[in-house]
Amino acid sequence: MISIIVAGALAGLALLTQAGVWLLRRSYPQRGETIAVEGGRLNVVDLGRRHSSDPPIVLIHGASSNLEVMRRPLGELLAQRYRVILIDRPGHGWSDRDSEMDSTPGAQARMIAQALDKLGIGRAVLVVHSWSGALGARLALDRPEQLAGLVMLAPVTHPWRGGVGRYNEVVTTPLIGPLLAYTITLPLGLLLAEPGARNVFLPQAMPDCFVQDTATLLLLRPREFLANARDLVTLKQAVVEQAPRYGEIRLPVTILAGDADTTVSTEIHARAFARAVPHTRLVVLAGVGHMVQQAAGERVIAEIEAMIAQARSAAF
C-alpha cells in the first residue's frame, strides 16, 4: 500500500514537472540563433556593430544561469559601440549538449570555439564570470590565437577545500539523480530560486525582478538542472589538471573580483591566477560580492574597453 502511494506521488510530481517545463518554455522563449557544433547545439545572441574594426566581445555566464545574466548589465550597453556575442553554455539556457558529453571547461571551451569559428569571429575579447573563469583560462591555453584578451569576473581557476554542495553530488548519482530532477526539483526550486539568488548577490542587494528578467527559472528544467550539477561536480578535478599550465598563458588578462565574495574566494582563485599568469592586471573591489558585473558594471565596462584599446594598439 505504501509503495503504491509513493509511486502515485512520484507520478504526480513527474506530471507537475512536465507541466512546469512547458510553462517555462512558454514564459522564456529562445532569443538567439542555434549553431550546431560537435557535441550539441549552442544558442547565440549576436548584438551591436557587426562591422566594427574593434575586436568583438564574447560574454560567457557562470553556473546556474544563462546568457541573460550577462546581457542586461554588460551586453546591451557594450553593443552600443561594439559587436557583442552572448552564448548559452552547453546544456544551459537554450543550448543543449549530448548526454554523454564531457562536462569540463575544456570540453565546453572546444564547443564555444567551434561556434565562434562558424560565426567567422577572429580574435575576440573574452569576458567570463565565475565557473567560466576555468573555461576562459582553458581557451587561453588551447586557442590563444582566437583571443585578443581575457577579462575574468570573480573567476573559478584553482582547486578549493570542500565540495560544491551535497545536493549537486546527489543529483549526479545514477538513477537517484534523474528521479529527483524529474519529480521534486522544479516544484521545490520554485520556492528556493529567489532566496538562493539573493545569497549569491551578498553583500549587495539583488536587483528587483532579477530572477524573472534573467530567465533563471529555466535552470529548474530537469535536463538543465542535471547538466548544471554535473558541471559543478566535475569542475574541481578539471582545475586541478589545468592549473599547472597557467604560466603558459601569454595573453593580456584583467581580473575583477570582490573582497567580500563568499561564493568564489578571491584569495584562492583570482589572486592565485594573477600570480601564475604573466601580463595579468588584478582589480580587487572593496565591499563587492560575487556578482561583479551587477555591483560594479561601469568599472567592468571600463576595463573591457581598456582591453579593447590595448588590442587595437597592438594591431598597429
Report DSSP letters for 184-227, one per residue.
THHHHHHHHHHHHHHHHHTTSPPPTTHHHHTTGGGGGSHHHHHH
State mean pLDDT over 244-265: 98
Q: What is the DSSP letter of 183?
A: T
Instruction: Render pLDDT for 145-180 as a digit per residue (tens, 0 to 9).
Output: 999 999 999 999 999 998 888 888 888 989 889 999
d(CA 96, CA 227): 9
d(CA 291, CA 205): 10
Q: With 80 as the cut, is the pLDDT of residue 265 above it?
A: yes
pLDDT at 1: 61
Integer Rg of the chain from CA: 19
State mean pLDDT over 38-42: 96
pLDDT at 303: 98
Cell of 192: 528556493
Instruction: Render pLDDT for 196-222 as a digit per residue (tens, 0 to 9).
Output: 999 999 999 999 999 999 999 999 999
pLDDT at 312: 84
- Residues present in the chain in total: 316
Which residue segment(s) compose the domain that 88 sits in?
A: 2-314
Q: Read off the CATH number of the domain in which 35 is found.
A: 3.40.50.1820
Cell of 235: 569542475
Q: Are 136 and 162 in contact (CB under 8 A)?
A: no
64 CB neighbour count, 10 Å cutoff:
22
Q: With 80 as the cut, is the pLDDT of residue 6 above it?
A: no
Residue 203: asked if its preceding bond is cis (omega within 30°), the reply is yes
Strand partners, 255: 152, 282
Place of cell 566594427: 52
Cell of 89: 553554455
Q: Are 140 and 242 in contact (CB under 8 A)?
A: no
Instruction: Render pLDDT for 280-306 as a digit per residue (tens, 0 to 9).
Output: 999 999 999 999 999 999 999 999 999
What is the chain's percent helix, strand, coil content, to nearest 5? 50, 15, 35
pLDDT band at residue 315 using 50, 70 and 90 as cut-offs: low
pLDDT at 2: 66
d(CA 115, CA 309): 25
Q: With 60 as the cut, is the pLDDT of residue 124 above it?
A: yes
Cell of 69: 545574466
State mean pLDDT over 34-59: 93
pLDDT band at residue 309 using 50, 70 and 90 as cut-offs: very high
Phi-psi region of 9 (alpha: psi -120 to 50; beta: other; left: phi over 0): alpha
What is the count of structural domains for the chain? Answer: 1
